[in-house]
Structure 1
Amino acid sequence: MSTQPLDLRAVLAGFDAPWSPRIVTTVNDYDIRLARFSGEHVWHKHDNTDEFFLVLDGSIEIGLREADGERTVTLTREQAFVVPRGTFHKPSSKEGAVVLLVEPSGTLSVGDEHEEVPDTVDVTVGHRV
């Protein structure tokens, strides 16, 4: 863990791949990840953890499969949302976005259960910067 301030602009300048999160720091047992969203991710769920999304730039949609059907949550800049554990969800961004994610260290980007992963999605636990 660094004892210096984090420059998120510098982190963003270091990568342009969508759906390939960068771990900017760790707080206790949680990774703080920075990711670019563009196009569609994959339907997936995390069995044992919630997933926190904070949109820093752009806008995203998160499709949710819930007990009473599917719905979509739209988030714009400076809006946050938590997907509850065990909920199938599919993030996407038509125009592109920058998103800060908070998840337990070691959480796979496509969850514990997922549909077929397209080549545009990096299956990873995050890339440390």
Structure 2
Amino acid sequence: MQKIIRSGDFTADRAWGALPVASMNGITTRLHWTDQPYRWHVNDGEEVFVVLDGTVEMRYREDGTEKSALLRAGDIFFASAGCEHVAHPQGEARILVIEKEGSV
């Protein structure tokens, strides 16, 4: 089976609403739409965060210091296990998230 998803057409009825794309060997891939920040969190494992549309300020803590990076369409943020982070979209954004199944 194949699937074609037009990410630019995807919206959700709430911030961080998700469209499941795939689940493979305990790893999930979801397309998210949001216009609101998430919350500070730490995933159970690694996370790949790909901005498909829009701009997102990714804030993260490294050695007790808060840092940030501005991510635009095409940019990728990799959070290793234990990396505390929070995404702050600047307006609407569509994000592809690949992570361990059941992660927050």
Normalising by structure 2, what TM-score?
A: 0.87
The residue that corresponds to 2:102 in the other structure is 106
How many pairs were matched up?
Answer: 104
Deviations 1:40-66 (A, max 9, x none): 1111112x3011111110010111111
The residue that corresponds to 2:84 in the other structure is 88
Q: Secondary structure at the match of 1:18?
A: coil
Distance, in Å, in 2 between the alignment partners of 1:44 and 1:107 is: 10
Over the aligned positions, Cα root-mean-square deviation in angstroms equals: 1.9
Matched, 1:24 2:21: yes
10 and 69 in structure 1: CA distance in 2 versus 1, 3 angstrom threshold: closer
Normalising by structure 1, what TM-score?
A: 0.72
CA shift, 1:7, in A, is 2.0
The residue that corresponds to 2:30 in the other structure is 33
- Which structure has the larger Rg over C-alpha atoms? 1
Q: 1:77 aligns with which of 63, 73, 76?
A: 73
Contact 2:30 2:98 in 1 (8 A): yes
Distance, in Å, in 2 between the alignment partners of 1:5 and 1:26 is: 13
Q: Secondary structure at the match of 1:95?
A: coil
The residue that corresponds to 1:112 in the other structure is none
Contact 1:37 1:92 in 2 (8 A): no
The residue that corresponds to 1:7 in the other structure is 5
Distance, in Å, in 1 between the alignment partners of 2:47 and 2:88 is: 15
CA shift, 1:73, in A, is 1.4
Gaps of 5+ in 1: 109-129
The residue that corresponds to 1:59 in the other structure is 55
